[in-house]
Amino acid sequence: MDTWLAIGNASAGTSDEETIAQVLTCLREFARVDYVATEGPEDLARELADHDDAGLVAVLGGDGSLHAVVQALYDADRLDRTVVGLVPLGTGNDFARTLELPDDPVGSARALAEGTDRAIDLIVDGDDHVVVNAAHLGLGAQAAERSAPVKPVLGPLAYAAGAVSTLFSRTPRLRVRIDDRELGGRIAQVAVGNGRFVGGGGELLPHALVDDGLMDVAVVFASTVPRRIAYALHLSRGTHADEDYVEYTTARRVRVDSAPLGCTSDGELTGPSAVHSWRIVPGALTMRLPVTPAGGSQPTSAS
């Protein structure tokens, strides 16, 4: 019988532990499963090294947990010989939406166990950090940064408050190089990604495919308050890609030069930098995915 490694978050609450127990019961119908709950990058790296023989690594968590596992495997040079599965237990589960995984954790576990292995693309930034889902700088990163101090008080409303405050912020001048093409000017947001959704369902990159060998890119020229409001409304419906103030395309490499700006990468805000760059690595990540997506449509390219 195959040996799989299931990885959870050590800070999970009681309800999460009950769900994880149900998920593990399901997975153990198909393989011998070792379960570990890790507390940080060093602990995660140690557990992965101790379970080097695992035929599959199942992430029981959200986008952040998936990112952490993929980063650890990338750092250990193990991506080419490790299959990764995902049972979405996070708050946003944005990448799971792109993959159209079942919402029910036990259903998702069964779909994983009965699924097939597929090679999907991976984005790597200039600091050799992976981006599994999406990265963006500008309005979204500003909103995340401004919402952080009030999040303990406002909870989920904090990000909305941060987003409203960005309506009146000064639009920075950026130089964006997309493969061999260059754009410049006052640019409100630059987003790159392999997944379609961010922020718990916002369709930031509505045309993204996980296995087409390209990252989707959105450059938003929204420097006025009315245009930013219009962009926010279109973004909520996933229709912004067709607006004349949005440059939406695909690329293999993207670089942004500017005054130091923060960036949100797979949901985590990173410190300000004057240079942000990303490259696509086609087929670098192998995931165990459902044979037929739960939604009945095909989220990947017709290869």
Nearest to 201 by CA among 56, 277, 111, 91: 91
Give the chain's largest Cα–Cα span: 60
Closest to 62 (Cα-Cα) out of 9, 115, 100: 9
Beta bridge partners of 58: 6, 85
Is residue 145 among the annotated active site residues? no
> Measured between alpha carbons, how far is 18 from 132 in angstroms, rounded to an integer?
27
CB burial readout 270-287, b (16+ within 10 A) else e: beebeebbbbbbeebbbb
How many C-beta atoms lie closer than 10 Å to residue 233's C-beta? 11
Other Cβ atoms closer than 10 A to 83? 18
Helices 41-50 and 63-75, axial angle in degrees (round to 10): 60
Encoded tokens for 79: 């991506």
Active-site entry in 17, 114, 182, 268: 268
User: How many other CB atoms are there within 10 angstroms of residue 291's CB atom?
Assistant: 8
Q: Are strands 134-138 and 253-265 parallel, antiparallel or unpaired?
A: antiparallel
Q: What φ, ψ does residue 291 adopt, rounded to 5°?
A: -60, -45
Question: DSSP readout, 164-214?
Answer: HHGGGSPPPEEEEEETTEEEEEE-SEEEEESSS-BTTTB-SSTT--TTSS-
Cα torsion at 213, 136, 126, 99 (round to 10°)?
-40
Catalytic residues, by residue number, are 268
